[in-house]
C-alpha cells in the first residue's frame, strides 16, 4: 500500500529545504573564512576563528541531518502513514536549538568545537563564564531530543507496517523465510538510521548532561575516556547517518530517472544489516591514538572500518552504476547530482579507510587528512544528494526548466570540490595539524588553494540555491507530484 503525501508535509519538507539551502551557503562562507585566515589572505583573531570553526562544524552536521531528514520523510511518506505535525514539531525544536547554539557561540564566546572533549567545556567556563557552554550544550540537547522523537515516531510506524524493525531490515529474507523483494529501500535505510541515530543521540545526551552538571558543580565528574567514547559514538554515528538518510533520494530518484526498479533483495538486506552493525561499532577509530583503550577495541576500529566500506563499495555505489549503465537515461540536473553523489561517497571512503589503519593513523590522526576525507563524503556525497533532492522536489512539486547553468554549475562544483579535498589531503600528507587558527609558512600554500576552490564552490552552490528558490515559488501548485498521483 502506498500513501499520498499531505500538503502540510510538502510545506514542511519545503521549509526544511529552504533552511538547509541558506545554512549550507552560510557554513560554506565560514569554511572559506577559516581557509583564508590560515592562508594569510585575511586576518581574524584566534578567538573568532575558533568560534567560526565551532559554528561550521555543528552547522554543517546539523543541516545535513535536517536536509537528510527532509529526504527521508518525503519518500517514507509513500510507504508509512506519517503525520506531518511531527515533522513540523521537529523543525521548531531544531530552530530553537540553533538559536541556543548561536547564542552560546556568538553571544557568549563558546568555541570548544562541535565534538568538544570533556572536560573542555567546564575548563573554558572557568575563564569565560558558564553561559556560552550552557547555551551551546542545551541547544545540542534540544536538537537531539527533536530528532529522537521523530526517530521514535518513525520506528513506531515501521513496526506497525512491517511487523518490527528486524522485519523492515529484511531478516525474513536473509533467513530464507521469504523470497523475492522486501520492504522498499526507503524503509530499510530509515530503519538503519532510526536504530543508529537513536543510539548516537542517547550517547550524546549522556555526555552533554554530564558536561552540564560538571559546569554547574565541578565536584560531579565522569571519566574523560568514557566521555570521549560517548562523544565519538554520538558524533561519528550522527555524521554517518546523514548520508544514510540522504541516499534514499538516490534510490528513489535514479530508479525513476532510468525507469528501472531498485528494490530490496537478500544481498541488499545483508548490506544494510552490516551497515547498521558496523556504523555502531567503528567510532573507536577516532580513539586509535588513545593507547589506554583496550587493544582489541582499537583493532576492531580498524578491521570493521575497512568492512564498513564494503556495503557502499559492493552494493550501493555498484547498484547505482548498474542501474544507470545502458539505461537510455535522459539526464536531468537532479539525476546527474544523484549519480555524482555516489562518486563522492565512494571516493570519500578511500582516505577514510586508509586513515583507519592504525599505523597510518599514528602519523595522520588529527592532521588535515581527516577533514579531507569527510569533506569528500559530506560535500560531494551528502550535500550533493541534498542539492539534487532540492531540484527533484521542484520537479515534482513545482515548476522548473533545465538550462545551461545546470551543467556549468555541476562541473564547477565538482571540479573545485575535488580541488578543495585535494588541498586538505595534501595538507594531511605534509602533516599539517587540523583546527589550527594560524599556520606556519610551509603550510600556507595548501590553504590558499583550498580557499580559492572554496570560493568557486560557493559560486556553484549559489547557482544551485538560486535555481532552487526560483523553482520553489510554485511548489505545491502542481498536479505533477508522483505522490499525489498515487491516490
Partner 1 sequence: MVKKFPIGWGTLEILEVTVGGDKMYQQIAWTVTLFLVFLIALAFSFVYGESKRLNEYGPIQKKGYKIRKYYFIGILAVMAIISAVTLTRLPYHHEAAAEDYKSVDVEGIQFAWNMSEDKFVVGEPIEFRVTSTDVTHGFGLYDENLQLIAQTQAMPGYTNSVYHTFDKPGKYQILCMEYCSVGHHIMVKEIIVTDSERGNE
437: contact with partner 1 by CB under 8 A = yes
Q: Which residues contact 428 (CB under 8 A, 6 or more apart)?
A: 364, 367, 368, 369, 370, 372
300: contact with partner 1 by CB under 8 A = no
Chain positions 407 to 426 lying near partner 1, rule: CB under 8 A, are 425-426
- Rounded distance, CA 43 to CA 118, Å? 30
CB of 96 to partner 1, least distance (A): 27
CB of 350 to partner 1, least distance (A): 5
DSSP code of residue 282: G
> CB-based burial of residue 348 (10 Å sphere; 0-12 exposed, 13-18 middle, 19+ buried)?
buried
- Rounded distance, CA 273 to CA 310, Å? 12
Q: Which residues contact 455 (CB under 8 A, 6 or more apart)?
A: 32
CB of 400 to partner 1, least distance (A): 22
Using CA atoms, how far residue 252 sits from 125, 135, 245, 257, in Å, is 47, 39, 12, 9
- Contact residue for partner 1 among 276, 367, 409, 481 (CB under 8 A): 367
Closer Cβ to partner 1, 291 or 479, answer by number: 291
Chain positions 249 to 268 lying near partner 1, rule: CB under 8 A, are 260, 267
Element (H, E) at 338: helix 333-355
225: contact with partner 1 by CB under 8 A = yes
Total site size for partner 1, rule CB under 8 A: 78
Chain positions 32 to 51 lying near partner 1, rule: CB under 8 A, are 46-47, 50
448: contact with partner 1 by CB under 8 A = no
2: contact with partner 1 by CB under 8 A = no
Closer Cβ to partner 1, 358 or 463, answer by number: 358
295: contact with partner 1 by CB under 8 A = yes
CB of 83 to partner 1, least distance (A): 37
Radius of gyration of the chain (CA): 22
347: contact with partner 1 by CB under 8 A = yes
113: contact with partner 1 by CB under 8 A = yes
- Rounded distance, CA 363 to CA 236, Å? 21
328: contact with partner 1 by CB under 8 A = yes
CB 334 within 8 A of CB 471: no
From the list 25-33, 150-158, 358-366, 390-398, the region that binds partner 1 by CB under 8 A is 358-366
Cis peptide leading into 371, omega within 30 of 0? Answer: no
CB 195 within 8 A of CB 202: no
Closer Cβ to partner 1, 121 or 170, answer by number: 121
Chain positions 143 to 202 lying near partner 1, rule: CB under 8 A, are none
Helix (H, G, I), strand (E, B) or coil at 284: helix
222: contact with partner 1 by CB under 8 A = no
- Contact residue for partner 1 among 165, 213, 358, 455 (CB under 8 A): 358
447: contact with partner 1 by CB under 8 A = no
Amino acid at each position: 500500500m502506498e500513501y499520498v503525501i499531505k500538503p502540510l508535509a510538502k510545506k514542511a519538507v519545503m521549509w526544511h529545504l529552504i533552511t538547509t539551502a541558506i545554512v549550507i551557503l552560510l557554513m560554506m562562507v565560514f569554511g572559506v573564512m577559516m581557509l583564508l585566515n590560515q592562508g594569510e589572505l585575511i586576518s581574524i583573531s584566534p578567538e573568532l576563528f575558533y568560534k567560526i570553526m565551532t559554528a561550521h562544524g555543528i552547522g554543517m552536521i546539523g543541516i545535513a541531518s535536517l536536509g537528510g531528514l527532509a529526504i527521508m520523510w518525503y519518500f517514507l511518506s509513500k510507504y508509512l502513514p506519517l503525520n506531518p505535525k511531527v515533522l513540523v514539531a521537529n523543525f521548531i525544536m531544531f530552530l530553537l536549538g540553533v538559536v541556543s547554539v548561536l547564542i552560546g557561540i556568538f553571544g557568549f564566546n563558546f568555541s570548544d568545537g562541535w565534538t568538544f572533549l570533556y572536560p573542555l567545556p567546564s575548563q573554558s567556563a572557568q575563564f569565560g563564564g558558564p553561559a556560552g557552554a550552557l547555551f551551546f550544550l542545551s541547544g545540542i540537547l534540544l536538537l537531539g531530543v527533536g530528532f529522537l522523537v521523530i526517530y521514535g515516531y518513525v520506528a513506531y510506524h515501521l513496526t506497525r507496517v512491517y511487523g518490527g524493525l528486524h522485519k523492515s531490515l529484511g531478516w525474513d529474507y536473509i533467513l530464507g523465510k521469504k523470497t523475492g523483494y522486501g520492504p522498499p529501500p526507503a524503509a530499510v535505510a530509515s530503519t538503519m538510521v532510526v536504530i543508529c541515530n537513536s543510539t548516537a543521540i542517547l550517547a550524546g545526551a549522556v555526555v552533554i548532561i554530564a558536561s552540564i552538571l560538571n559546569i554547574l558543580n565541578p565536584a560531579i565528574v565522569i571519566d574523560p575516556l568514557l566521555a570521549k567514547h560517548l562523544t565519538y559514538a554520538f558524533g561519528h554515528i550522527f555524521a554517518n547517518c546523514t548520508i544514510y538518510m540522504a541516499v534514499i533520494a538516490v534510490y528513489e530518484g535514479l530508479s525513476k530517472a532510468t525507469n528501472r526498479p531498485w528494490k530490496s533483495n537478500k544481498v541488499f538486506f545483508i548490506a544494510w544489516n552490516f551497515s547498521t552493525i558496523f556504523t555502531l561499532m567503528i567510532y573507536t577509530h577516532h580513539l586509535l591514538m588513545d593507547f589506554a583503550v583496550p587493544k582489541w577495541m582499537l583493532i576492531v576500529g580498524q578491521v570493521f572500518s575497512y568492512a564498513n566500506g564494503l556495503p557502499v563499495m559492493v552494493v550501493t555505489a555498484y547498484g547505482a552504476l548498474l542501474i544507470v549503465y545502458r539505461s537510455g537515461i535522459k539526464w536531468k540536473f537532479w539525476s546527474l547530482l544523484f549519480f555524482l553523489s555516489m562518486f563522492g561517497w565512494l571516493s570519500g571512503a578511500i582516505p577514510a579507510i586508509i586513515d583507519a589503519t592504525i599505523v597510518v593513523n599514528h602519523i595522520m590522526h588529527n592532521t588535515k587528512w581527516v577533514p579531507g576525507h569527510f569533506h569528500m563524503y559530506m560535500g560531494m556525497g551528502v550535500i550533493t544528494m541534498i542539492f539534487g533532492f532540492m531540484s527533484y522536489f521542484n520537479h515534482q512539486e513545482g515548476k522548473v526548466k533545465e538550462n545551461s547553468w545546470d551543467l556549468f554549475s555541476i562541473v564547477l562544483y565538482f571540479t573545485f570540490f575535488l580541488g578543495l579535498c585535494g588541498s586538505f589531503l595534501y595538507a594531511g600528507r605534509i602533516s599539517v595539524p587540523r583546527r589550527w587558527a594560524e599556520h606556519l609558512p610551509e603550510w600556507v600554500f595548501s590553504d590558499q588553494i583550498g580557499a580559492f576552490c572554496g570560493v568557486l564552490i560557493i559560486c556553484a552552490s549559489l547557482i544551485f540555491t538560486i535555481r532552487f528558490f526560483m523553482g520553489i515559488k510554485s511548489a505545491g501548485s502542481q498536479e505533477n507530484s508522483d505522490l499525489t498521483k498515487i491516490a
